[in-house]
Amino acid sequence: MALHAAQHYGVDVVGVTLSAEQRDFARARIAEAGMTDRIEIRLQDYRDIDESPFDAISSIGMSEHVGAAKLPEYARHLHELLVPGGRLLNHAIASVVYRPEPRSRPATFIDRYVFPDGEILPLSRTVDAFERAGLEVRDSEALREHYALTLRAWVANLLESWDGAVSLVGAERARTWLLYLTASALGFEEPGRLTIHQVLAVRPTSTGVSGMPRTRHEWLAAG
């Protein structure tokens, strides 16, 4: 995402992650592309970002790990980081059916072995947090079928590189991730269980101007 934004739209990008491995991998990709002057990747908590406001924020696969209790704080901080008229794109997995809070339900396979800190929330809860923080939701796009195809591609890549994966992390962990990716693909293929949404929101100006084109067609055509 950082490379695409810098290469195709000429923006300066700051990316943050809590994973040292992800940071190192991203920095290597950026150096290979010759974009180190345009893109900075940090090992940093998003709550510790305190520099001048940003024109736009893209949060990809993160709010699932924020959790229900911290979701209002997450929304408020993103609002504060944006300039008036700034845009937020929040990309996150969402539940379609009601799921009890993690402490009130038995731990699933994914809870125990893959994402022990994850909470899959309904889209309505995320939108509510954004609106309460002062953001105006302008669009939401469901990508459930797309994500099912992505998961199938990940399964195929893992199987093609199986020996290397086993040598890297061991057979038990490799089998755990193969099971997780396969089950997740089935979960997204079947309607009524899991989905994934990209929510576009803006921080309105003091006069109520959103800075967005009046129709989806206009801003897609301009993009």
Is pLDDT at 47 greater than 80 in this prediction?
yes
Contacts of 138 (CB under 8 A, 6+ apart): 200, 201, 202, 210, 212
> What's the pLDDT at 177?
94
Long-range own/partner contacts, residues 146-151 (CB < 8 A, 24 or more apart): 146/196, 147/93, 147/188, 147/196, 148/185, 148/188, 148/189, 151/181, 151/182, 151/184, 151/185, 151/188
pLDDT over 80 (residue 78): yes
The answer on pLDDT for 2 being more than 80 is yes
Average pLDDT for 124-136: 96
Predicted confidence (pLDDT) at residue 103 exceeds the cutoff of 70: no
Looking at residue 223, what is its pLDDT?
63
Q: Give yes or no for a contact between 5 and 38, defined as CB atoms under 8 angstroms apart.
A: no
pLDDT more than 70, % of the chain: 94
Residue 104: per-residue pLDDT:
57
Amino acid at 162: W
Q: What is the pLDDT of residues 140-156, one digit of tens each?
A: 999 999 999 999 999 99
Give residue 221's pLDDT: 74
Q: Are 37 and 12 in contact (CB under 8 A)?
A: no
pLDDT at residue number 20: 96
pLDDT number for residue 198: 96
The predicted structure's pLDDT at residue 102: 56
pLDDT tens-digit series, residues 159-218 = 999 999 999 999 999 999 999 999 999 999 988 889 999 999 999 998 888 888 878 777
Angle 171-189/162-169 helices, nearest 10 degrees? 120
pLDDT for the residue numbered 43: 97
Compare 114 and 78 and report the one with higher pLDDT: 78
Q: Alpha-carbon distance 220 to 223, whole Å?
A: 5
pLDDT of the residue at 200: 96
pLDDT in tens, 88-101: 999 999 998 766 55
- Any idea what DSSP says for residue 147? H
CATH code at 45-222:
3.40.50.150
Average pLDDT, the chain: 91
Give dist(CA 196, CA 149) in Å, integer.
Answer: 13
Positions of CATH 3.40.50.150 in the chain: 45-222
For residue 30, give both structure tokens. Answer: 């950026």
**What percent of the chain clears pLDDT 90, i.e. is strictly above it?**
74
The pLDDT value given to residue 105: 59
